[in-house]
Structure formats: C-alpha cells, structure tokens
C-alpha cells in the first residue's frame, strides 16, 4: 500500500547524478557571469501571484492553494507555482536599494495536472536580471542560457524568438475592449493557437497586417526590417516593439548566434512585455525566458525593469547521456575491519575521507560490487591488506600513511604479496 503521490516523481541515485551535474554546471556558468544564488520558500501567499493581475486564471487554477494553520483570515498559501515571481518578491523585500541584481536559483515548482501522468512537480534553474532594460541585457541572458546548455554538452539547440510587446500592440489595434484583449491574450498564453486566427476572420480590414505579422517566421533581422518598412504608416504604434526586436536580433547576429523568429509562440509567458525566447532540442522545450518590465511595478516594487530565463531540468535530465557526466574525482574503498579492530577501521576511514577518497566500512552482507579497492584492517601484522581488484594485486601495509601513499601512487606497479 506504500505509494508515492500521483503526479510526483522520485529521483533515483542515477537520476540525482544527472540532476546534480546539470545543477553544478548551471551554477558554475551563472556565477561566472556575475550572478548571486538565492533560494526562496516553497510556500508563498496566493496573493503574491494574483496581485499582479498578469497570471492567467487557467494557470492560477492549477496552483496548489490551501489554507494553512494560520489561515483563519482566509489568506491562502500556495506551493510555489512559478520561479520568477518569488525571486522578484525577494528582490523587492531585500535588494531594491541596491539597484541592478543578477540572481540565480534552482527550484521546484508545483502545478496541478489533471491526469497525473505528467509531472506536477518540476525542477528548473534560472536567472533574473533585475534593474536594467536594454537589448544588451536581453542578449546576455540568452547567451548565458545557451552557454549553460553547451557546457552541459547539449547540441543542436534551437533558439526561437517572439515579442510580447508586439503581440500586445497588435491586440490593442483590433478595436477590442480591454477585457476582450485580456481574454484573447490569456487564450494565446494558455496555448490556444487558433485564438488570433479567429479574431482575424472577424476583422477583415486588418487581415493583411495580421496575416503578415502572425505568420512572421524568419532567421534574420531582415524580415523584421521589411515589416517595419511595410507597416510603419498603418501601424506606427508597433514601431518601438519592432525596433527593440531588431536591436536584439542584430546583437545576436553580431555575436554569432542563430535564431528562428516565430511570433505566435507565447505559451507560459503571462507577465512578459518584451522579447520572449524559447530553447528547443528537437521537439523538447528545454528552457525559455524574456523581459517582464511591468511585473515589479505591479508588485509594488517601483518602476524597475527586469528579464530572465529558466532551464527545465526535467527535460534536460533526459538529454544528458552518461558520457557527458564528469568522471568521479574520487576512488571508492571498502574497508573490512575485524571486530576487535573496528576502531582502527573508523580511524583509517577518517584519514581516507580527509585525503579525498570515498571510503566505507563493509556492512553485513555488503558485496564489493564495482569497488576497485578493498582494505582489510587486521589485528596482527600486516595491519592493513590492500587489494586492487582491477589489477588483481594485494599489498601488505604497516601504517595508515603508507596506505595513503600507495593509493596516491594509484596503480603503480608495486611488489604485491599475491
């Protein structure tokens, strides 16, 4: 009857090796770009996520919200459904006086999924760059994310770009009420790819412009420049967004990065206001991010712009092959201590740990398995017998320091006693 919760997963020792590898590489890369690491609580107040008015009801309806033991006022708490908003809350709480901040995190997020076949808990690592609004900042984040993936050893990453400002600007031109605009934007964000197409048919006058913009796909800034020339007069409100988009892709081209422009893809980016980037390996989405300049103002943190990205560890773990994993730096040693000298067994284990080895005492029924070294601790001379199972050699040794010396020489060809 023992079972784990529906929709939640265990991470086995083998999966944890891959998880820690991704986490370590992500952390190393981001710290080298000047990021500082933060952790935020698993529980947050629900109103942290509702107060901005940016998250869709569909997304919020999937948050695990409940009344905790302090909830007599009706104040609900949630299991963190999003990685960015808690970091923005942390910034407002603790760092708003410091201005620019580059914050890195690894966290789990929780969203209900009806069938229980998909994960309800997901892991992600991300960076939030708060306090600056420039194409250079947007491009630095994209290059940082791509750098992490390269360092992990993942190849053939496709970068897809869209622009939330452009989509919102487009919707504002359709003559819809603010509520209707919000509804359509929600539908797009909730993954309804037909939402824009349906409006298009209802507004034939805008058909041409919409067809061009909605079908916008390309691999260079040229296509954006062409569109700008075409619609500069009929849709001048879109110009700042197109210019911003052009600046960003020009910088990416200058830096030697390739990308794909796909304007309609925006799912899961509720609070974004500018560039939206998505990272794919084949059909698998492994990360994404973008600019969200309105979020911190809406949270009451002042007029502070921000952007960020997150990499999806669950997807990346499936892509990490054993060959990509770093080889363990330590050698493992199994210590067999006779009962009367078990204290010496613990002593030599301590010496080995201090020297950087993985060493463990043999427990009842434990087989050497894939360990290379076995160290017998005896009550009579020789006090230590070290067996190299790889080279089938055995050494009689008098002292602990000699054991360390011999191990330090690795598989040097010493005279063995067998």
- Residue ranges that bind another protein, judged by CB under 8 A: 1, 47, 50-53, 57, 60-61, 65, 67, 69-76, 114-116, 182
In this complex, which beta carbon is closest to another protein, that of residue 50 or of residue 394? 50
CA distance 241 to 247: 10
CA distance 387 to 400: 15
Least gap, CB of 40 to another protein (angstroms): 20
Least gap, CB of 190 to another protein (angstroms): 13
Closest alpha carbon to 346 in 397, 331, 338:
338
In this complex, which beta carbon is closest to another protein, that of residue 46 or of residue 157? 46
* Residue 87: count of CB within 10 angstroms of its CB: 24
In this complex, which beta carbon is closest to another protein, that of residue 66 or of residue 237? 66
Q: Is 271 exposed, middle or buried (0-12, 13-18, 19+ CB in 10 A)?
A: buried
In this complex, which beta carbon is closest to another protein, that of residue 79 or of residue 137? 79
What 3-state DSSP class applies to 314? helix
Specify which residues 279 forms β-bridges with. 159, 287
CA distance 177 to 159: 34
Least gap, CB of 76 to another protein (angstroms): 8
What 3-state DSSP class applies to 326? coil
Instruction: Encode burial over 357-366: b for 16+ CB neighbours within 10 A, e otherwise.
Output: bebebbeeee
CA distance 312 to 157: 13
Least gap, CB of 54 to another protein (angstroms): 9
In this complex, which beta carbon is closest to another protein, that of residue 204 or of residue 300? 300
Least gap, CB of 2 to another protein (angstroms): 10
In this complex, which beta carbon is closest to another protein, that of residue 73 or of residue 201? 73
Least gap, CB of 6 to another protein (angstroms): 9
Distance of CA 4 to the CA centre of its chain: 24
In this complex, which beta carbon is closest to another protein, that of residue 115 or of residue 326? 115
The answer to whether 109 and 8 are in contact (CB under 8 A) is no
Least gap, CB of 42 to another protein (angstroms): 20
In this complex, which beta carbon is closest to another protein, that of residue 63 or of residue 216? 63
Least gap, CB of 138 to another protein (angstroms): 28
Least gap, CB of 103 to another protein (angstroms): 25
The answer to whether 178 and 189 are in contact (CB under 8 A) is no
Closest alpha carbon to 355 in 336, 374, 378, 331:
331
CA distance 185 to 179: 10
The answer to whether 359 and 335 are in contact (CB under 8 A) is yes
In this complex, which beta carbon is closest to another protein, that of residue 115 or of residue 254? 115
Query: What is the DSSP code string of 197-224?
Result: HHHHHH-GGGHHHHHHHHT-EESSHHHH
């Amino acid at each position: 009857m023992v079972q784990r919760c529906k929709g939640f997963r265990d991470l086995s020792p083998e999966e944890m090796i891959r998880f820690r590898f991704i986490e370590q590489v992500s952390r190393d890369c981001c710290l080298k770009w000047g990021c500082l690491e933060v952790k935020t609580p698993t529980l947050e107040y629900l109103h942290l996520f509702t107060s901005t008015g940016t998250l869709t009801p569909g997304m919020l309806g999937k948050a695990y919200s409940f009344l905790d033991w302090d909830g007599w006022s009706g104040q609900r708490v949630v299991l963190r459904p999003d990685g960015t908003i808690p970091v923005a809350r942390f910034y407002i709480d603790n760092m708003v006086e410091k201005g620019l901040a580059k914050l890195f995190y690894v966290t789990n997020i929780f969203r209900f999924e009806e069938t229980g076949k998909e994960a309800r808990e997901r892991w992600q690592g991300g960076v939030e760059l708060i306090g600056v609004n420039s194409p250079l900042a947007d491009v630095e984040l994209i290059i940082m994310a791509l750098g992490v993936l390269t360092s992990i050893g993942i190849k053939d990453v496709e970068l897809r770009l869209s622009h939330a400002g452009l989509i919102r600007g487009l919707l504002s031109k359709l003559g819809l009420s603010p509520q209707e605009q919000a509804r359509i934007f929600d539908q797009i964000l909730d993954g309804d790819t037909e939402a824009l197409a349906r409006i298009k048919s209802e507004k034939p006058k805008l058909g041409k412009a919409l067809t061009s913009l909605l079908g916008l796909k390309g691999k260079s800034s040229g296509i954006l420049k062409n569109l700008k020339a075409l619609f500069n007069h009929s849709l001048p409100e879109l110009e700042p967004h197109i210019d911003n988009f052009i600046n960003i892709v020009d910088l990416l081209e200058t830096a030697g990065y390739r990308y794909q422009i796909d304007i309609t893809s925006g799912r899961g980016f509720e609070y974004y206001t500018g560039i939206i980037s998505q990272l794919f390996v084949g059909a698998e989405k492994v990360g994404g991010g973008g600019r969200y300049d309105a979020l911190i103002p809406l949270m009451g943190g002042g007029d502070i712009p921000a952007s960020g990205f997150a990499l999806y560890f669950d997807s990346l773990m499936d892509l990490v092959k054993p060959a990509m994993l770093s080889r363990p730096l330590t050698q493992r040693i199994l210590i067999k201590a006779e009962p009367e000298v078990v204290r010496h067994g613990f002593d030599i284990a301590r010496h080995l740990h201090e020297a950087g080895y993985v060493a463990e005492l043999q427990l009842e029924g434990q087989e050497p398995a894939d360990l290379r070294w076995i160290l017998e601790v005896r009550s009579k001379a020789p006090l230590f017998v070290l067996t190299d199972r790889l080279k089938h050699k055995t050494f009689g040794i008098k002292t602990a320091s000699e054991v360390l010396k011999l191990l330090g020489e690795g598989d040097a060809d010493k005279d063995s006693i067998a």
